Structure 1
Amino acid sequence: MNKIDVENLCVKYKTPNQTFEALKDLSFSVKSGEFVSIVGASGCGKSTFLSVLEGLLKPTSGRILIDGKEVKGTGTDRGVVFQHYSLFHWMTALKNTEFGIQQAKKQLSRKEVTKLANHFLDLVHLEQFKNKFPSQLSGGMQQRVAIARALAMDTDILIMDEPFGALDAKNKSSLQDLVLELWSSSEKNKTVIFVTHDIDEAILLSDKIVVFSENPGHVYKEIKVPFARPRNRSDIRKTRDYETLRAELIDSLYGNVREPEFEFALAG
């Protein structure tokens, strides 16, 4: 059984003057433990899809299944890491991490929650900054806290919505490597849905890349990433397979662009 099945998903937004179709007949599947990246032009429905997957938006028609059960609302089986950190500014890094655990694991004692939060902050190399507030942390550090919180919640599915898009190149590369390390070192790989505009990032991280086409959003192509794990970015970039895959992604994206201002990152 697949972990996630997206079946003929359609989402329409109605205004007084017109109806806008954000997604139409969107269908694809994600295996348990699979790392899947979604790429596509701005406005192709990626955010709308994530809203349905998170249980925040009801589709017009079609459905999303998790473990064979239809998504009908939010749940503790899904953790989310957003682009803009989404930390509580009045809480320390430790308190932010504890908060996520408390929502997902209500059976744990206060002492157990704190121990777990400390463990995951250690994993993202923030043990010395656990008592700092978000305003006292760099953007990269804030995103590490968000990742620690999501991992500590121990959800089956991890949804990452352009989590490194606001970071500089050095921090971005560091967090990409950290996510790969934590994901591959766990006893059971989490199922990851990762939205990005950076095709080099998608190749480095993913088992599969799903290309969305726009107007309305639908699956244009699904591409398997052929590189074995663990991966080294320098090594795979030297291969012919990397250049071939990268060229295919660029062609897929450009071939579905109707507006000249389409933006995506060519460098990871």
Structure 2
Amino acid sequence: MLSVPLEVNLSKRNHSGNKPDSPLMENSTSQSQKQTFLSHGSSSTTSKIKLYSHYRSSCAWRVRIALNLKEFRRLSPLGFIPVLVDGDFVICDSYAILLYLEEKYPQIPLLPVNLKKKAYNLQVANIVSSSIQPLQMIGLLKSIEEKVGLEEKLSFARHHITKGFNALEILLQKISGKYATGDQVYMADIFLAPQISNAVVRFNIDMSMYPNLKRINEAYLEVPAFQEALPERQPDAVTLDVTS
């Protein structure tokens, strides 16, 4: 396992930034995972949390964005990533990790106070994490390819991505601002950014069919927290054929 020490100091930065899935088994552990260490806390007390990750995993990608936004950088029983280690506490599953970070480090919130906006963020996150991303996991697609062939595998993944994107596009027409649910980055954005990127890179989805998603995704590229979480900027990043 590659261990990469990274440390940053807690500082003030807002959500606007003013200061693709793994070609391996998407959620499984591998030698190219990394440990990411980021410091958090006050000047008098500093602890470290560890993120076990893979640079192309969209689930780990979500958590990297959240850690960057919040400005601090016994393993998974299923052998899945990402895994967050905070002292003697270990938690896996990106959704659970994000909610844990939200509760423990509330200074820069991932969910808005407004109840309706909060519900919209959770709705977007659930569409991605339940109706799109699990149906493009490498293990599932490999099984489909072995049974019915490459074209059927790609058709299956593209069908579920476009179905989810159609739903998201309709939803975002009502609620989006500069970002998914307004002019601040929230949890919906953390789920959307990796999913959109993977849809384009791995499955050649034409984003011109989804103008709101396309516009919002372009805005993410200007936010430092999103830039720093990009797969190609991770210490374990390698050049691989993402279509395989």
Category of TM-score, reference length = shorter chain: 0.3 to 0.5
- The structure carrying a bigger strand percent of its residues is 1
Report the TM-score, using the length of structure 1 for normalisation: 0.32
Structure 2 length as normaliser, TM-score?
Answer: 0.35
Q: Which structure's residues are more often helix, by fraction?
A: 2
Query: Which structure would you say has the larger Rg?
Result: 1
